[in-house]
């Protein structure tokens, strides 16, 4: 039986470990003993307490692994990925770090490593869809609308975070890179708000965020953008906080003590944004692709709507992100995808048969893409 090491046991890391333990020997690693205790008491998963900011600790724990899953917060992600690659271990990563993953491409190839990055729902599943069509047609336009939201709207934020608030805040501060008519254009995050109707939800607002990531390098498509979905009014509140300086990363002096505003804001928002146990929430995504296939105009529209798994107790964001990750993890573990180097999800979508296998994997877990 193959060994899988899951680095990080947050909501999504936990869902990944639970899903993979049905077929593989899984070890879940985190510094939080309370989370690890809950996992070990319920599932056949080995647990190890380790500080994953410690490079030596990572090297020790992954020594006998067949595959590593990176599910740490974004600010730790790049260093964890680099450490795993340097050990010659294949990895599927969902940490969504700021750094350019292709900076590690040469190291991954020299180490004979398959390193899949950004392997969540978006980026992740959205890239896989685009990669599949880009390999079969000339794509001229790609738009992805995506968001995770609580079912019950509570003022003032009308939002709950299924992962670290500081990673959510990064979406509101990082300049949004989009492609317009073949040119890279920078837009402020939270800008160009538009309202979109969804059958299962009603009206949501969509605003610019920096979600294209690897697509900007791998996909020569003239028009591409990703927009984040929230309940109407959320972008305005976040813009006020950002413009006031609550999201600044440079420390200010407060009563003689240096404090980063973003750390304080994250600390204050966490109890406000934390999902309660078994709280209903959902993930919604719409992917629009236009172009030409066999010299004919073609349009494709993919829709995903997924709710909290009441029976399993696993959040929708953990399901949609985690199960996309486990689908790709299985492709790597079973040698269906063996490309070496840094592998963004769009490359997996383009690979023969992988897209279909991922859809089957998700369908078995009651996650369906309609198109």
Per-residue pLDDT of the chain (371 residues; tens, 9 = 90+): 999 999 999 989 999 999 999 999 999 999 999 999 999 999 999 999 999 999 999 999 999 999 999 999 989 999 999 999 999 999 999 998 989 999 999 999 999 999 999 999 999 999 999 999 999 999 999 999 999 999 999 999 999 986 677 788 989 999 999 999 999 999 999 999 999 999 989 999 999 999 999 999 999 999 999 999 999 999 999 999 999 999 999 999 989 999 999 999 999 998 899 888 889 999 999 999 999 999 999 999 999 999 998 888 899 999 999 999 999 999 999 999 999 999 999 999 999 999 999 999 999 999 989 98
**What's residue 166's pLDDT?**
79
Residues 6+ apart with CB under 8 A from 13: 6, 7, 28, 30, 69, 71, 72, 322
pLDDT of residue 165: 75
Name the CATH topology of 3-120+315-370: Rossmann fold (3.40.50)
pTM over 0.75: yes
Instruction: Look at residue 61 in the predicted model and tell me its pLDDT.
Output: 97
CB environment 95-112: b (16+ within 10 A), e (fewer):
bbbeeebeebbebbeebe
Residue carrying structure tokens 């999902």: 275
Strand pairing class (176-180; 138-150)? unpaired
- Nearest-angstrom CA–CA distance, 323 and 310: 16
Strand order in the sheet with 114-116: 46-49, 25-30, 3-7, 67-70, 91-93, 114-116, 341-343
3-state secondary structure of 12: helix
Reduced to 3 states, what is the DSSP secondary structure of residue 202?
Answer: strand
Domains 3-120+315-370 and 125-307 agree in fold? no
CB 35 within 8 A of CB 51: no
Query: What SS3 class is residue 92?
Result: strand
Q: Provide the pLDDT for residue 114.
A: 98
Token pair recorded at residue 123:
């980026």
Instruction: Return the closest-CA partner of residue 208 out of 170, 232, 176, 180.
Output: 176
CATH number of 125-307: 3.30.360.10
DSSP 37-88: HHHHHHSS-EEEE--TT-HHHHHHHTTT-SEEEE-S-HHHHHHHHHHHHHTT
Tokens matching residue 324: 């996309």
* Separation between Cα atoms, residue 263 and residue 270, nearest integer Å: 11
For the chain, domain boundaries: 3-120+315-370, 125-307
pLDDT at 151: 94
């Amino acid at each position: 039986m193959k060994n899988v090491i899951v680095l990080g046991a947050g909501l999504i890391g936990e869902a990944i470990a639970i899903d993979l333990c049905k077929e593989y020997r899984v070890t879940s690693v985190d510094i939080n003993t309370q989370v690890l205790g809950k996992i070990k008491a319920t599932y056949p998963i080995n647990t190890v307490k380790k500080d994953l900011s410690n490079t030596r600790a990572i090297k020790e724990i992954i020594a006998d692994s067949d595959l590593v899953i990176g599910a740490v917060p974004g600010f730790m992600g790049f260093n964890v990925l680099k450490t795993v690659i340097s050990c010659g271990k294949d990895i599927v990563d969902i940490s969504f770090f700021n750094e350019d993953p292709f900076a590690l491409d040469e190291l991954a190839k020299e180490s004979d490593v398959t390193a899949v990055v950004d392997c969540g729902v978006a980026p992740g599943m959205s890239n896989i869809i685009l990669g599949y069509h880009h390999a079969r047609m000339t794509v001229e336009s790609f738009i992805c609308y995506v968001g995770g939201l609580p079912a019950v709207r509570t003022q003032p934020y009308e939002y709950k975070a299924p992962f670290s608030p500081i990673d959510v805040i990064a979406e509101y501060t990082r300049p949004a890179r989009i492609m317009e008519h073949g040119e890279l254009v920078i837009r402020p995050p939270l800008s160009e708000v538009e309202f979109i109707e969804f059958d299962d939800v009603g009206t949501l607002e969509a605003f610019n965020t920096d979600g294209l990531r690897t697509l900007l390098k791998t996909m020569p498509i003239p028009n591409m953008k990703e927009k984040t979905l929230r309940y109407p009014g959320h972008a305005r509140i976040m813009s006020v906080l950002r413009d006031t300086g609550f999201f600044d990363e440079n420390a200010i002096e407060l009563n003689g003590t240096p404090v980063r505003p973003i750390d304080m804001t994250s600390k204050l928002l966490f109890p406000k944004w934390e999902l309660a146990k078994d709280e209903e929430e959902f993930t919604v995504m719409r992917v629009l692709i236009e172009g030409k296939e066999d010299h004919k105009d073609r349009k494709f529209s993919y829709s995903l709507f997924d709710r909290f798994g009441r029976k399993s107790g696993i959040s929708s964001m953990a399901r949609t992100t985690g199960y996309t990750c486990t689908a790709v993890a299985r492709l790597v573990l079973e040698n269906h995808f063996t490309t070496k180097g840094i592998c963004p999800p769009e490359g997996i979508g383009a690979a023969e048969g992988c897209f279909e296998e991922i859809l089957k994997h998700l369908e078995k877990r009651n996650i369906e893409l309609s198109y």
